[in-house]
Structure 1
């Protein structure tokens, strides 16, 4: 399970705004986006939270009015589910005959064009914002340090996004420049560039494919039941520690040469040598100048902030109760990349410092789109494929849904929460349900 937790990088549902008639509807999505029972999803969304209401006595005259049930694939049902999960929109299932090429062909050619000025502007933005963050840390009183760390951790995430573009060959027309910039951009994160690139390519090739995707995976039931100790580790890892689980992925996967193909080992070894050289020079300098507390203030805390975004971006973009993981024989690229990827809006300062990595659907349609063209590509996708998109604004209910519901794999329901399978071991999950707000 250590590798499972490591490879998983990257709400109890809130009440609906309107009362929903209780009705059991046996239905399922087409094979496009999900094979699941809408009645299960809807009932779970309703019963997770109970609104507290003041006791009051009201006399009403009951009148029986027949109400026709809404079709399970209707806009009304999707709206109810989106409100429950913290989404703005849950997309319609994508028809089986739509291919990824069909979607790519609707994109303007200009969104694939590399602009050197814009690329290096992103480097300037990240370098400047990171320098400002370090200055803020050096000058802030202790009670303002969390704000300085939040800024600096977000700014250094921008370096990751620049390396991310280099790995996808969307930063420069010169491959050597991309390899150098990508390696340097990852060094402050102590992240080996080439190992990450190889693993991340597989995430794009097999997004939301069971076993094969290298990002967040649902936990197999047999793995969850295999050991009490392992079960508790899984519950903590997919519950309260989930926003930092990319640290486990970073450590276990990227520094192990046995995780890579023989053709990849040489490049992986070079990246590891660069990382260890940076650690061997950079860390002693920080310790010499500022001491152990300076190392914690100037490097460790921003690094933890970066991993918060690394984990959060990955799970938010690919994890939701209605988004299925498919076995290899059922998986379809267009459905996984268009229907199985979530667009999420964050506060503007986060989007700027992180170079629009949150505009994620076009990035999964084609990783060759540079980060500075993602918004134009997303606008085109909205115009041509808008009704199929899953969209959200980052909020408490969305995070609560992921952290308290999206746990163990189920072909029928997509996910079964830990506390339904092992209530006695799931105190971290019940704690999250109590303390995390429900509002979107």
Structure 2
């Protein structure tokens, strides 16, 4: 736990201490940070601590208590400290209640909504070429270079998924049939059914960071966590060490069960499932026939796991942080969820190119109709008009460690409670991550 001694002139974070200027007792606190309050204790009290600073002696009482997440009243210095603590470059101010999503959309240049067929098909060329190059590298690479070839190929096939993603949002082509065909084909190497994903993903955009209704990820409910010892262990591992591949479970649970779709959606869902099963029936046996089971692992499974690493980590970073709340439907605000509840994260340039700027994610949530090749122009406009409200980061280990070790069980008061704060005896995987994950930003 980090402790803050507001008036003594010291600020303690983790095991380190730094001197900072402060002239008042803070009125707010951060998750995982405790107050140190002024108080008079009886002489010799067991909880008294004598601190000497600037030749004066002060008696203070340390009180650890649950604290509220930061609010719009927090100072810029507090947000700066919180950002550093979590691995962000900026944590934005809370968006005022009277701002609507339309207000934000109206500030965007009209050109960012325009579909450019040349740019759209250029992105297809980039993804197909880079994916083919990746498969060639796998075929030629010695064993010790295979991880690099798999990383490239998994990232390249993620770019294909992003193209299908644009098709699902009707931001790839003016022709709906072309979008459906391209989207279906782009998803096939990943065994992803296009229409089921499209239906679920539309609901994610409509209800971003809404408890239960958001069909991407959301915090674990305490009731579910306590429901079964076996399930609790699975959840701890799933939202801890194997979280970078948890999208595999999401893929299985959400996209192949016809009962999860409306009657009007089922016909299109069945068509997509038929395409996926046809690819399985033809593609997998062909790969195994040509290269053997080891070849199937090398050419398909490992790049597929690389794709799910990006699918999981991108989704985590885009909407998960200790200060970003999930809200019930009666408290939810669309503008706040899409602008304040979405994170812009800069990744290495080669990843941004191969994945078509999908991590320029705030404008995508302001309007999913913005094509991927216009996201950067849209983000620049949002920075100019709404910059102080944005959550921004450059990918780093502290950011990932924060998400994987803190953002677990839903709490209305604190947004999240970590597993080891609820079940410390069973949370060794989280304790392990705290010890071994790097903490530099």
The aligned residue for residue 55 of structure 2 is 63
The aligned residue for residue 362 of structure 2 is 361
Query: Do structure 1's residue 40 and structure 2's residue 41 form an aligned pair?
Result: no
Q: How high is the TM-score relative to the length of structure 2?
A: 0.87
Query: Do structure 1's residue 191 and structure 2's residue 182 form an aligned pair?
Result: no
Distance 1:14 1:403 in 2: 17
Q: How does 1:279-290 map to 2 (within 5 A)?
A: 279-290=280-291
Distance 2:202 2:34 in 1: 37
Distance 2:116 2:279 in 1: 30
Where 2:392 maps in the other structure, the secondary structure is strand
The aligned residue for residue 52 of structure 1 is none
- Structure 1: 4+ residue segments shifted above 6 A: 13-17, 21-24
Is the radius of gyration larger for structure 1 or structure 2? 2
Where 2:370 maps in the other structure, the secondary structure is coil
* Greater relative contact order, per chain length (Cα 8 Å cut-off, separation 6+): 1
Distance 2:30 2:26 in 1: 5
User: 1:25, 1:72 within 8 Å by CA — same for their partners in 2?
Assistant: no
The aligned residue for residue 137 of structure 2 is 136
Where 1:344 maps in the other structure, the secondary structure is strand
Q: How does 1:177-216 map to 2 (within 5 A)?
A: 177-216=178-217
Change (3 A) 1:19 1:41: farther
Greater share of strand residues, 1 or 2? 2
User: 1:125, 1:353 within 8 Å by CA — same for their partners in 2?
Assistant: yes
Query: Could you say what the CA RMSD is over the residues aligned between the two structures, in angstroms?
Result: 1.9
Distance 1:42 1:20 in 2: 16
Q: How does 1:302-341 map to 2 (within 5 A)?
A: 302-341=303-342
Distance 1:18 1:338 in 2: 33
User: 1:86, 1:395 within 8 Å by CA — same for their partners in 2?
Assistant: yes
Q: How does 1:71-150 map to 2 (within 5 A)?
A: 73-150=74-151
User: 2:401, 2:439 within 8 Å by CA — same for their partners in 1?
Assistant: yes
Q: Which shifted more, 181-190 or 251-260?
A: 251-260
Distance 2:190 2:388 in 1: 38
Where 1:88 maps in the other structure, the secondary structure is coil
Distance 1:20 1:129 in 2: 49
Query: Do structure 1's residue 373 and structure 2's residue 364 form an aligned pair?
Result: no
Q: Deviations over 1:329-371 (max 9, x none)?
A: 0000000000000000000000000000000000000000000
Q: How high is the TM-score relative to the length of structure 1?
A: 0.88
The aligned residue for residue 394 of structure 1 is 395
Q: Deviations over 1:185-237 (max 9, x none)?
A: 00000000000000000000000000100111111111111111111111001
| Ranges in structure 1 where 5+ consecutive residues have no aligned partner | 1-12, 28-37, 45-59
Distance 1:148 1:424 in 2: 40
User: 2:134, 2:152 within 8 Å by CA — same for their partners in 1?
Assistant: yes
User: 2:31, 2:322 within 8 Å by CA — same for their partners in 1?
Assistant: no
User: 2:30, 2:82 within 8 Å by CA — same for their partners in 1?
Assistant: no
Distance 1:217 1:295 in 2: 33
Q: Which shifted more, 373-382 or 14-23?
A: 14-23
